[in-house]
Structure 1
Amino acid sequence: MLELYQFELSQYSEKVRLILDYKGLEYRKIEVTPGVGQLELFQKSGQRQVPVLKDGETYICDSTEIAFYLERKYPDRPILPSDPREKGLCLMMEEWADESIGLKGRKAFIGALNKNQNFRTSILPKNTPDFLKTIVGALPGDMLDILGAGIGLGGDAVKDAETGLKQDLEALCLLLQNRPYLVGNAPTLADLTVAALSVLIKFPEGNYLAIPEEFQGKGIPGLGDNSTYEPFFTWRDRLYEQFRQPLTAKDANVDSPPKNIDID
């Protein structure tokens, strides 16, 4: 069985999970403990970050490389169009989403965490030690903002990310007007990437992520709750209903985190 080394709230791990579900492939999730170490997986795969997919004795790193590998190895339900122009648009949009929605979404999400202590602790992995939860919850948002500024995650960076995401979401709403998918008449890697990378902007409706139930369908203030972008999130959630397997269907295939690796 395929094994996915992942972090539950990594959008790039979610991108791989959505592709796996779309292709109907069985896999086991191996949750990792962020920030503790990465020696074991690095020795096996040469990669410290998730997601990493293991197929037999083969390790594939990086969500885009995993997508291309799955398309070659498991061609049923293709995610790359056969038409050259559509394939080009698909690849371009996938790359754009990785570098735009993925990175800016993470910055905006971290900004929301800085402002809400309860939210911060509630989404930590279940196996996080209680003392670490206490420390994380007790940190003042102002301190996190100062610390984040040193690594490009301060208040100004968060505001810039939110501004950029507003333009991205508006563009996506326009692209999806009277169209079922972003490229062509069937789901492609572009659709699956954009949908998955948006989960931190607004969590999907339904039990797809291991988060408290009250967070389902909730999002970053000003983005996830803005009616202007509702057409996009309605499209995204419809895609999830059609192709993403609910979390309960995979409970038996989730391993506790035996690996200590960094997250992407």
Structure 2
Amino acid sequence: MLELYQFELSQFCEKVRLILDYKGLDYRKIEVTPGVGQLKLFKLSGQRQVPVLKDGETIIADSTEIAFYLDRKYPEKPIIPTDPVARGQCLLIEEWADESIGIKGRTALIGALNKNPNFRTSILPQEVPDFLKTFIEVVPGDLLTVLGTGIGLGAEAVKSAQISLKQDLEALSLILQHRSYLVTEEPTLADLTVAGLSMILKFPTGDYLNIPNQLKGKEIPELTDNTNYDAFFLWRDRFYTDYRKSQRKTNLGKNNPTQIKID
């Protein structure tokens, strides 16, 4: 069986999970513990970042490389068009989404985490010690913003990411008002990437992720409180209904996020 080394709340892991579900492939999720788990992952794959897919003796890192591999190895329900123009459009949107929704979305999420201590601790894996979760929760948001400035995640970076994402969401909403999918009449890697990476902008409400019920449907208010983006999130939710499988029972053990309440 395919094995996906992952963080449950990683949007790039969600991109891969959505591809696996769309193709109807069985897989086992292996939650990587930050720190020691990443060292083990490095020994396996040569890098510390998730996602990493293991298919027998084959190890593939990076969500895009995993997508290419899966389409070659399991060609049923292809996700990369063969028509040159459609293929080019698909790959262009996939690369854009990785850099925009993926990277800028993560920056915007960090801004939301700085403002909400409960939200902040809710995304930590359960393996993180309670004393560390408590420490992270009580750290003032303003201090985190100041510290983030030194690594490119300060208030200005968050604001810039939000502005860019608003433009992206408006563009996607305009495209998807009258189209079922972004490139062709069937889902492609472009759709799967955009839908999966948008997870952190607004968590799906269904039973798709191993997260507390209080987190389902929670969103970054600065990005999702505009009705101009409704067409995109309606499309994303329909996409999940059609192609994302409900959460599977795995042998991950105690990998449930901390139960919290977000006001």
TM-score calculated relative to the size of structure 1 = 0.93
Partner of 2:184: 184
Per-residue CA deviations over 1:120-146 (Å, capped at 9, x if unaligned) read 112221222111111111111011111
Partner of 1:80: 80
Which range moved further: 121-130 or 233-242? 121-130
Equivalent residue runs for 1:163-202 within 5 Å: 163-202=163-202
Matched, 1:147 2:144: no
How many angstroms apart in 2 are the aligned matches of 1:170 and 1:226? Answer: 9
Which range moved further: 126-135 or 105-114? 126-135
> Aligned-pair distance for 1:214?
2.1
Which range moved further: 183-192 or 199-208? 199-208
> Aligned to 1:214, what secondary structure does the other structure show?
helix
How many angstroms apart in 2 are the aligned matches of 1:102 and 1:79? Answer: 19
> Aligned-pair distance for 1:35?
3.9
Quote the sequence identity (%).
68
How many angstroms apart in 1 are the aligned matches of 2:61 and 2:125? Answer: 22
Residue 238 of structure 2 aligns with an amino acid whose one-letter code is R
Contact 1:2 1:27 in 2 (8 A): yes
Contact 1:13 1:50 in 2 (8 A): yes
Contact 1:18 1:196 in 2 (8 A): yes
Residue 97 of structure 2 aligns with an amino acid whose one-letter code is A
Residue 147 of structure 1 aligns with an amino acid whose one-letter code is L
Matched, 1:121 2:121: yes
> Aligned-pair distance for 1:255?
5.8
Matched, 1:68 2:55: no
Per-residue CA deviations over 1:202-239 (Å, capped at 9, x if unaligned) read 11121212222122122101212322101100000100
Residue 159 of structure 2 aligns with an amino acid whose one-letter code is K
How many angstroms apart in 1 are the aligned matches of 2:21 and 2:149? Answer: 37
How many angstroms apart in 1 are the aligned matches of 2:245 and 2:187? Answer: 16
Contact 2:4 2:53 in 1 (8 A): yes
Equivalent residue runs for 1:1-264 within 5 Å: 1-36=1-36, 38-247=38-247, 250-252=248-250, 254=252
Contact 2:29 2:250 in 1 (8 A): no
> Aligned to 2:178, what secondary structure does the other structure show?
coil
How many angstroms apart in 2 are the aligned matches of 1:82 and 1:134? Answer: 51
Residue 104 of structure 2 aligns with an amino acid whose one-letter code is K
How many angstroms apart in 1 are the aligned matches of 2:251 and 2:187? Answer: 26
Which range moved further: 130-139 or 181-190? 130-139
Higher RCO, 1 or 2 (CA under 8 Å, sep at least 6)?
1
Contact 2:86 2:183 in 1 (8 A): yes
Per-residue CA deviations over 1:151-185 (Å, capped at 9, x if unaligned) read 11111100000000000000101111210000110
Contact 2:126 2:254 in 1 (8 A): no
> Aligned-pair distance for 1:256?
5.8
RMSD: 1.3
CA distance 1:255–1:63, change in 2 (3 Å): farther
> Aligned-pair distance for 1:41?
1.8
CA distance 1:253–1:37, change in 2 (3 Å): closer
Residue 125 of structure 1 aligns with an amino acid whose one-letter code is P
Residue 14 of structure 1 aligns with an amino acid whose one-letter code is E
CA distance 1:210–1:61, change in 2 (3 Å): same
How many angstroms apart in 2 are the aligned matches of 1:39 and 1:211? Answer: 25
How many angstroms apart in 2 are the aligned matches of 1:172 and 1:67? Answer: 22
- Moved runs in structure 1, 4+ residues, more than 6 A? none
Residue 4 of structure 2 aligns with an amino acid whose one-letter code is L
TM-score calculated relative to the size of structure 2 = 0.93
Residue 252 of structure 1 aligns with an amino acid whose one-letter code is T
Contact 1:201 1:220 in 2 (8 A): yes
Contact 1:123 1:212 in 2 (8 A): no
